[in-house]
Structure formats: structure tokens, C-alpha cells
Amino acid sequence: MKMAVFRATGKTGRLPVAQALQAGETVRVLARNPAKLGMTDERLAVVTGELSDVDAIEKVVAGADGVVSLPGQGLPVKGRPIAHGTQNILAAMRKFGVGRIVAIATACRRGPKGRADPAVQAGHCLCPGVPARSL
């Protein structure tokens, strides 16, 4: 299996990459800072870029059997980078006919002074602008 992983350099993101490599799978990741991944393997390809970089996202998704997306970010944040990045990932999946995705996001929203507010209200969309539907 060939797996595309987004946000693979965090604590959560490194786990599926390591597990897939241990299982003999091929993994391609997108990383702003490839050195933060902290691992190398002949079956691991790293594309340097961000979720706003459509060309880099397409390089990661092309030829993949599935996608793992583990978005998370520090605060404060301007705009909606996770929502826009997720839209870019989904567009690349459609373009290359990839129909499987595992996506995990944090449940928080901005509260006073831009700090994380863990009291997420019912119905609050974690990624505004990304429709809650499958490919």
C-alpha cells in the first residue's frame, strides 16, 4: 500500500508513518520542515511544502492508495489554514482518484484573545468551509 500523510512531523503524525514503514508500506509525506520528521527509510519520500502549496500536495497524493491527514496548529492563527489545506488535499484526491482518507483534527476553537477554547459548542465546525461529506 502507498500512503500519503499530511502533518506527519507532530507527535501524532509520526506514529502512522513509523507503523506503516514497519509494516513494509510505502509512505510519502508533506512537511514544512523535513528534519522534524526524525526518520529516514528507503520507502519514505518527503516533499517539502505547506498545506497551501497545491503542487506539493499533488506530489504527495499522486499514486497513493489512501491519505492520512492529521491537521493541528498552534495559536494564534490568521485565516483558516486547516480548512483551506483540507480542501486542497480533497481536490488532489479527486484529481488522482484516491478515495480513502483518515482525518483527525483537534476539537478547539478560538476564545478570548485568540487562545484555544476547549468548550466547543454543539454543531461547531472544526474546518469551516469543508463540507462534511465523503469523496
Residue 28 lies in a domain: yes
41-75 pLDDT per residue, tens:
999 999 999 999 999 999 999 999 999 998 766 54
Residue 103, classified by CB atoms within 10 Å of its CB into exposed (0-12), middle (13-18) or buried (19+), is: middle
Least confident of 14-23, 40-49, 72-81: 72-81
Residue 131 lies in a domain: no
Residue 42 lies in a domain: yes
Our CA angle for 77, 62, 106, nearest 5°, is 30
pTM for this one? Answer: 0.77
CATH of the domain at 26: 3.40.50.720
Residue 123 lies in a domain: no
* Strand 2-6 relative to strand 26-31, pairing: parallel
Residue 23 lies in a domain: yes
Q: Regarding predicted confidence, which is higher, 10 or 105?
A: 10
Residue 133 lies in a domain: no
Structural domain harbouring 35: 2-117
Residue 78 lies in a domain: yes
Residue 124 lies in a domain: no
Number of domains within the chain: 1
89-132 pLDDT per residue, tens:
999 999 999 999 998 876 555 555 555 555 444 344 444 444 44
CB atoms within 10 A of CB 33: 8
CB atoms within 10 A of CB 86: 22
